[in-house]
Chains A and B, each alone.
Chain A
């Protein structure tokens, strides 16, 4: 028993060590960036947010604030791109949804986000939680399930509880799978250039199929050298230079 307790303590300490910790410098930088924004120094504010992100800080609200700074600067494309990045972390944030909608309305092409597929309709909750939340939920459910399994060894009448928890656990795993699939399949791109010509091939002299403008949302379906294959719908697709698009 002593050995088991020691092992458990080791696990807890390991987990604690791997959890993200607050860094006072990071928070100071956030305060500074927010202050610049409040003083309407939007460019400096955006630069401060960008430098935090470059340092490896990944936070939905950081992307959201950065999006706001860009939209104040008139860079709708960068704003939409950062709002979409923020959705990965704070998918249920109403302010984010409102600002993203506003930003799309400011674009010339006014292309809305692609509709949810069948899998997303079935597992609708998967889009309302970020990946970390789904992981924590699954880990918690996993822990409860194994505890229930242990208890079931002593109290066989807990068989129903055990089976129910197993179903929930499997559902949680599938939800994580759906989330991973979504993020790998649906790669959204945002036009950052003021105007981009979508070509029929990966060459500047290829036929221009159609034009997109800053902030237009496209689905990135392929990459070759410095060219990205983008798709608007079932019929309209083509190639754009990689540097004209933010993903």
Chain B
């Protein structure tokens, strides 16, 4: 149980102590400002600490106006102490002040608001001096220098501004600020920074070098302000404490070595330079080219035919603003068609000197046969080294043009006018008038609108013709393939023909048999039956089934029975004629019924 209570108390204290640590418990609040040094140079950085005792719950301090310093926050730290059950809390706000000017500078009171009250720090007086000139650069851990390639330069001449950092100890977190005034100079980088080792006054330094090319834009005396670099110098010191037995035990440089970072701001001296205007007497065609240039020209083929193509290559190289060089097309338009190509430019940096090469290509197509000499290309420029104007020229190039072996007419288009249609001699319009009247009489045949009868007949008659044709075709097809239809259609015709062919036979029995056969076959055709095999009673039934009038059906049956009777009884000549007529009438009656 005791163990349990102790455990609970320990846990409680573990949670409560941090929770209560931020409370002031009525402790008095005090605010103090401290600096790590009161005297420093422009290369040093001042550490300003605002310590707030008695609370940790305050907003950040309000710093005074510090126009002579560049202020950067360097973090906060807090502490809580228990001494004889007395608890004290504090928070420290750290700032890094980089001096910008020399002299005695007073850092005014900083203010802190806590528990509704405002607390102020005491003012601090600081003395900022120039870096000690008595200390030789060689004796220092790090120093910088800036060098300009020349103290005088012509407008447009290339200058090289070089910044060097010398350091004996490790340098980290480098932040370089190079001055550059766009109104006075054009700037061009000269590649990556160089790193090498150099011995100065017998002391070995690591050197970081950065160069850039400056091209002056206007004449006058100009000062290039100081360049600055912020960095942390890492100094390694030996622990000197000999009282500690552990130190003696571990008396080894590895354990006693301590690295200390020192923040520094190193500045170069400002540099002045005189920018000179270009002298009078510039040659004709001078286009502000300053430096030293060479020019050459080459021709692809010197012997060619009319219509062939050859390439004229003009190469300009040298030091200076090669990029700005341009050439117009050579004046050869009477003899050649000229197609200029897009110039190719390349730039290199050698020994901090910008050199470039620009290649101009022109495709030439000769229009006439004969020997020609291409004119020289000339490039006037100002040689800054000798302070004189010079003209670089190409050598004249001769070429021999033969007549075209193929007699084709050239259809060449001048470059830059490729989309322009060939110009035709335009015929001037002198006047405008209407075109004449029509007099051809056949044109005046009246165009009156078609009547609705015409339109209706035009559209309707093909439909009617189609219906008729379709009916005929369908009927023909039916006669061809429908046997019952064919028999029914031809029943009367066949029966009539057979009756006409039937003569009054001497043999009355045969006559009656044939009449019976004709009538049966007629009915068989009409009803699609086997007429010869059908009986008189069946004929009556079938006719009635086929919607013939019962009287007619009965009459037909009686007539057929009569035929049968007569086949076994003799007939007179008159009675056969009468029978024939009776048969014809019966067939006609049945035909009308069908």
User: CB within 8 Å of B: which residues of A?
Assistant: 1, 4, 7-8, 11, 14-15, 18-20, 22-23, 26-27, 30-31, 34, 37, 56-62, 64-65, 68-69, 71-72, 89, 95, 98-99, 102-103, 105, 130-132, 135, 138-139, 142-143, 145-147, 149-150, 153-154
Given contacts A99-B435, A139-B458, 16 further A-B contacts (CB under 8 A): A8-B461, A11-B461, A14-B453, A57-B446, A58-B448, A59-B443, A59-B445, A68-B434, A102-B433, A132-B449, A138-B459, A146-B466, A149-B466, A150-B469, A150-B470, A153-B469
> Whole-angstrom distance between the alpha carbons of A8 and B454 in the complex?
14
Q: Would you call B100 an interface residue if the criterion is a C-beta within 8 Å of the partner chain's C-beta atoms?
A: no
> Whole-angstrom distance between the alpha carbons of A146 and B457 in the complex?
14
Are B451 and A18 neighbours in the complex by a CB distance under 8 Å?
yes
Are B437 and A34 neighbours in the complex by a CB distance under 8 Å?
yes
Q: Would you call B444 an interface residue if the criterion is a C-beta within 8 Å of the partner chain's C-beta atoms?
A: yes
Q: How far is the CB of A209 from chain B (nearest CB, A)?
A: 33
Q: List 17 A-B contacts (CB under 8 A).
A: A4-B472, A14-B453, A14-B457, A20-B445, A30-B441, A58-B447, A58-B449, A64-B437, A65-B437, A65-B438, A72-B434, A102-B433, A105-B432, A130-B447, A138-B459, A139-B458, A150-B473
Knowing A15-B454, A142-B459, A142-B462 are in contact, say whether A20-B446 is a contact too (CB < 8 A): yes
Knowing A99-B434, A102-B433, A150-B466 are in contact, say whether A19-B454 is a contact too (CB < 8 A): yes
Q: Would you call B463 an interface residue if the criterion is a C-beta within 8 Å of the partner chain's C-beta atoms?
A: yes
Name A's interface SS.
helix
Name B's interface SS.
helix
Are A146 and B437 neighbours in the complex by a CB distance under 8 Å?
no
Are B438 and A146 neighbours in the complex by a CB distance under 8 Å?
no
Q: Would you call B436 an interface residue if the criterion is a C-beta within 8 Å of the partner chain's C-beta atoms?
A: yes
> Whole-angstrom distance between the alpha carbons of A19 and B464 in the complex?
21
The 9 closest A-B pairs by CB, nearest first: A146-B462, A139-B458, A65-B437, A95-B435, A18-B454, A11-B461, A146-B466, A61-B438, A99-B434
Which residue of chain A is the closest to B474 with respect to CB atoms? A153
Knowing A135-B455, A139-B458, A142-B459 are in contact, say whether A27-B444 is a contact too (CB < 8 A): yes
Knowing A34-B437, A68-B434 are in contact, say whether A4-B465 is a contact too (CB < 8 A): yes
Residues of B in contact, count (CB < 8 Å): 35
Are B445 and A22 neighbours in the complex by a CB distance under 8 Å?
yes
> Whole-angstrom distance between the alpha carbons of A8 and B467 in the complex?
13
- Residue of A8, A61, A64, A72 near B465 (CB, 8 A) is A8
Are B447 and A89 neighbours in the complex by a CB distance under 8 Å?
yes
- Residue of A23, A68, A130 near B437 (CB, 8 A) is A68
List, in ascending order, chain A residues with CB within 8 A of B449's CB.
58, 131-132
Are B454 and A4 neighbours in the complex by a CB distance under 8 Å?
no
User: Which residues of B from 274 to 307 have beta carbons under 8 Å from A?
Assistant: none
Are B447 and A146 neighbours in the complex by a CB distance under 8 Å?
no
List, in ascending order, chain B residues with CB within 8 A of A20's CB.
445-448
Which residue of chain A is the closest to B446 with respect to CB atoms? A20
List, in ascending order, chain B residues with CB within 8 A of A26's CB.
444, 446
> Whole-angstrom distance between the alpha carbons of A154 and B472 in the complex?
11
Are A143 and B462 neighbours in the complex by a CB distance under 8 Å?
yes
- Residue of A7, A59, A103, A105 near B446 (CB, 8 A) is A59
Are A58 and B462 neighbours in the complex by a CB distance under 8 Å?
no
List, in ascending order, chain A residues with CB within 8 A of B459's CB.
138-139, 142
Are A102 and B434 neighbours in the complex by a CB distance under 8 Å?
yes
Q: Would you call B468 an interface residue if the criterion is a C-beta within 8 Å of the partner chain's C-beta atoms?
A: yes
Are B437 and A37 neighbours in the complex by a CB distance under 8 Å?
yes
> Whole-angstrom distance between the alpha carbons of A137 and B322 in the complex?
75
Knowing A11-B461, A146-B462 are in contact, say whether A27-B434 is a contact too (CB < 8 A): no
Are B450 and A147 neighbours in the complex by a CB distance under 8 Å?
no
Are A15 and B446 neighbours in the complex by a CB distance under 8 Å?
no
> Whole-angstrom distance between the alpha carbons of A57 and B448 in the complex?
7
Q: How many A-B residue pairs have CB under 8 A?
A: 114
Are B458 and A142 neighbours in the complex by a CB distance under 8 Å?
yes
Are A153 and B473 neighbours in the complex by a CB distance under 8 Å?
yes
- Residue of A65, A103, A132 near B447 (CB, 8 A) is A132
Knowing A27-B444, A56-B448, A154-B473 are in contact, say whether A34-B439 is a contact too (CB < 8 A): yes
Knowing A18-B454, A37-B437, A142-B458 are in contact, say whether A58-B463 is a contact too (CB < 8 A): no
Are B472 and A18 neighbours in the complex by a CB distance under 8 Å?
no
Knowing A61-B438, A68-B436 are in contact, say whether A30-B444 is a contact too (CB < 8 A): yes
Q: How far is the CB of B350 from chain A (nearest CB, A)?
A: 68
> Whole-angstrom distance between the alpha carbons of A135 and B458 in the complex?
9
Are A18 and B453 neighbours in the complex by a CB distance under 8 Å?
yes
List, in ascending order, chain B residues with CB within 8 A of A130's CB.
447
> Whole-angstrom distance between the alpha carbons of A7 and B465 in the complex?
9
Which residue of chain A is the closest to B463 with respect to CB atoms? A146
> Whole-angstrom distance between the alpha carbons of A151 and B434 in the complex?
53
Q: How far is the CB of A7 from chain B (nearest CB, A)?
A: 7
- Residue of B435, B450, B468 near A98 (CB, 8 A) is B435
List, in ascending order, chain B residues with CB within 8 A of A56's CB.
448
Are A7 and B455 neighbours in the complex by a CB distance under 8 Å?
no
> Whole-angstrom distance between the alpha carbons of A60 and B437 in the complex?
12
Knowing A18-B451, A59-B445, A59-B447 are in contact, say whether A7-B468 is a contact too (CB < 8 A): yes
Which residue of chain B is the closest to A31 with respect to CB atoms? B441
User: Which residues of B from 472 to 491 have beta carbons under 8 Å from A?
Assistant: 472-473
Are A62 and B444 neighbours in the complex by a CB distance under 8 Å?
yes
List, in ascending order, chain B residues with CB within 8 A of A145's CB.
462
Knowing A14-B457, A30-B444, A132-B450 are in contact, say whether A71-B462 is a contact too (CB < 8 A): no
A-contact 0/1 string along B575-591, CB 8 Å cutoff: 00000000000000000
Q: How far is the CB of B456 from chain A (nearest CB, A)?
A: 10
List, in ascending order, chain B residues with CB within 8 A of A139's CB.
455, 458-459
Which residue of chain A is the closest to B437 with respect to CB atoms? A65
Q: How far is the CB of B458 from chain A (nearest CB, A)?
A: 4
List, in ascending order, chain B residues with CB within 8 A of A30's CB.
441, 444
> Whole-angstrom distance between the alpha carbons of A11 and B462 in the complex?
10
Most B Cβ at <10 Å: residue of A58, A61, A105 = A61
> Whole-angstrom distance between the alpha carbons of A34 and B470 in the complex?
54
List, in ascending order, chain A residues with CB within 8 A of B458's CB.
15, 135, 139, 142-143
Which residue of chain B is the closest to A69 with respect to CB atoms? B437
> Whole-angstrom distance between the alpha carbons of A109 and B535 in the complex?
101
List, in ascending order, chain B residues with CB within 8 A of A31's CB.
441
List, in ascending order, chain B residues with CB within 8 A of A18's CB.
450-451, 453-454, 457
Q: How far is the CB of A44 from chain B (nearest CB, A)?
A: 14
Q: How far is the CB of B474 from chain A (nearest CB, A)?
A: 8
List, in ascending order, chain A residues with CB within 8 A of B455's CB.
135, 139
Are B448 and A1 neighbours in the complex by a CB distance under 8 Å?
no
List, in ascending order, chain A residues with CB within 8 A of B466's CB.
146-147, 149-150
Which residue of chain A is the closest to B466 with respect to CB atoms? A146
List, in ascending order, chain A residues with CB within 8 A of B472's CB.
1, 4
List, in ascending order, chain A residues with CB within 8 A of B469's CB.
4, 150, 153
Q: How far is the CB of A90 from chain B (nearest CB, A)?
A: 8
